């Protein structure tokens, strides 16, 4: 069940929200939280019901392991908390390795050793990377003494919460579990509905009207690259289309997740801050998939030593972090190359900053000139698009064919695809420019709609019945038109 379908928007969502608020009012907040857990499990079961058993087992195991680690930290405990942590993390990683990487290991072994081991018949559970790493972070925080919340219902809700379950954002327990204790979450509020619907509609527009419009273009070009050389015009068309598709697809999902959660007053962290405005790769990773960047920094880069052991070790840690970040995205060497490229980009970026004396706090730096900002953004976007080739390509041969065409190494026998008119190229360029210069969703909604809603929701104010009904009808009609305007497609990050 996708966020963009009528079944979700007009059946699942109203039933889930209505049941949640009614149960909270008449049966109590604890039972309402349990209802939301069950609703989230049902949402997950709509893809492959058997995988709900894996999700439930993962939640139960990690909650139990967290309790063991917590007790082992008490003075005089005969059990080693560190050994329990290692055991729990290893168990999580083994499950992830089986479901996501077993066939990748088999294919690699076959290629290196010339073997013919048959691939296993394994269906990848939706969102396994997200809920596995979310819980590994929880276990690490229990070991570090940073966890004060041990409610089993709120823990299960933190992991399985349907707005973020299958494609993020990557959540931290301290961001979510305390919110489910607050009474305001269990009362319907006009302000939450207004803000939530605004984010939800913005995400629908990004996904259905923009991202899905570019998906066929990217799919056609990358499919053609599987069969050999393609023309430069086609290669650039394909990678520019995919650059827009993945941005509006994942950004749209994140906006919808924020909006869905906001309907009940729970605030998810923002995951995007106009990444295509970045002036260098360091800036890009502070803006793109921000919750994953924070996770990789806090639970991988810093434990590896971060920048505390000199420049050389810092560069090694950056490369290792991004290589593992690439492998986290997918079980293929193309993802490893994508992560490795970004690791190299970050090494070069930090090295350049160090060489030019700009490796210092932001407040101490001189702002770059307009020419410097333009050049920095152009170089950054070119580097990002080169890496996107590997992220999207089916295999290394396809990626090589794409890059060869993009940079003038295409054989003269390469056949061009059906050409584009100038207005189609103009539309693509215009959208890239919009992503570069226009304010993002949170800037628009929080900056403009938020203050208006705050003024309306003053003590004693109640929306007029006509206003409420009219706004509801407009939202429903707009949502229905958007969700029915294109063929329903999955979000890109559902594959990870």
User: What residues act catalytically?
Assistant: 329
Gyration radius from the chain CA atoms: 24
State how far the Cα of 313 lies from the Cα of 63, in Å rounded to an integer.
Answer: 35
Phi, psi at 145, each rounded to 5°: 75, 25
Of 350, 283, 364, the residue nearest 319 (C-alpha): 350
Note whether 4 and 212 are within 8 A (CB): no
Note whether 217 and 211 are within 8 A (CB): no
Question: Exposure pattern of 4-27 as b/e (b: 16+ CB <10 Å)?
Answer: beeebbeebbeebbeebbebbeee
- Angle subtended at Cα 204 by Cα 444 and Cα 155, rounded to the nearest 5 degrees: 90
User: HEC string of 71-96?
Assistant: HHCCCCCCCCHHHHHHHHHHHHHHHH
Note whether 187 and 30 are within 8 A (CB): no
State how far the Cα of 212 lies from the Cα of 389, in Å rounded to an integer.
Answer: 18
210's CB contacts (< 8 A; 6+ apart) are 244, 248, 252, 431
């Amino acid at each position: 069940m996708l966020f963009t379908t009528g079944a979700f928007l007009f059946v699942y969502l109203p039933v889930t929200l209505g049941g949640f608020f009614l149960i909270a009012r008449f049966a109590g907040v604890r039972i309402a939280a349990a209802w939301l857990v069950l609703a989230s499990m049902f949402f997950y079961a709509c893809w492959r019901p058997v995988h709900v058993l894996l999700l439930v087992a993962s939640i139960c195991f990690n909650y139990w392991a967290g309790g063991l680690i917590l007790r082992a930290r008490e003075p005089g405990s005969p059990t080693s908390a560190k050994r329990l942590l290692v055991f729990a993390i290893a168990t999580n990683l083994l499950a992830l390795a089986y479901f996501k990487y077993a066939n990748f290991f088999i294919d690699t072994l076959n290629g290196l050793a010339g073997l013919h081991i048959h691939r296993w018949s394994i269906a990848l559970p939706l969102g396994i990377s997200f809920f596995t790493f979310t819980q590994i972070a929880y276990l690490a925080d229990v070991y570090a003494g940073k966890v004060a919340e041990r409610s089993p219902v709120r823990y299960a809700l933190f992991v399985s919460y349907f707005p973020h379950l299958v494609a993020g954002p990557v959540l931290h327990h301290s961001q979510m579990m305390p919110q489910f204790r607050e009474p305001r979450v269990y009362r319907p509020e006009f302000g939450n509905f207004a803000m939530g619907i605004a984010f939800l509609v913005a995400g629908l527009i990004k996904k259905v009207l923009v991202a899905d419009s570019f998906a066929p273009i990217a799919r056609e070009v990358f499919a053609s690259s599987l069969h050999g050389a393609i023309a430069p015009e086609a290669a650039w068309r394909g990678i520019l289309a995919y650059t827009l598709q993945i941005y509006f697809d994942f950004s749209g999902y994140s906006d919808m997740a924020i909006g869905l959660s906001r309907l009940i007053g729970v605030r998810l962290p923002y995951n995007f801050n106009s990444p295509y405005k970045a002036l260098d790769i360091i800036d890009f990773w502070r803006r793109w998939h921000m919750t994953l960047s924070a996770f990789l920094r806090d639970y991988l880069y810093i434990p590896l030593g971060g920048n505390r052991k000199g420049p050389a070790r810092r560069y090694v840690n950056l490369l290792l972090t991004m290589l593992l970040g690439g492998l986290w995205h997918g079980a293929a060497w193309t993802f490893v190359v994508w992560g490795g490229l970004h690791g190299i980009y970050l090494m070069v970026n930090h090295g350049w900053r160090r060489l030019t004396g700009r490796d210092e706090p932001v407040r101490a730096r001189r702002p770059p000139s307009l020419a410097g900002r333009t050049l920095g953004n152009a170089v950054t976007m070119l580097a990002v698009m080169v890496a996107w080739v590997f992220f999207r390509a089916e295999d290394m041969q396809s990626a090589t064919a794409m890059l060869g065409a993009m940079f003038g190494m295409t054989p003269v026998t390469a056949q061009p695809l059906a050409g584009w008119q100038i207005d189609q190229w103009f539309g693509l360029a215009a959208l890239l420019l919009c992503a570069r210069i226009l304010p993002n969703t949170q800037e628009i909604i929080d900056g403009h709609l938020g203050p208006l809603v705050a003024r309306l929701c003053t003590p004693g104010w109640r929306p007029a019945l006509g206003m409420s009904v009219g706004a509801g009808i407009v939202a429903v009609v707009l949502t229905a038109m958007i969700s029915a305007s294109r063929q329903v497609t999955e979000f890109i990050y559902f594959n990870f």
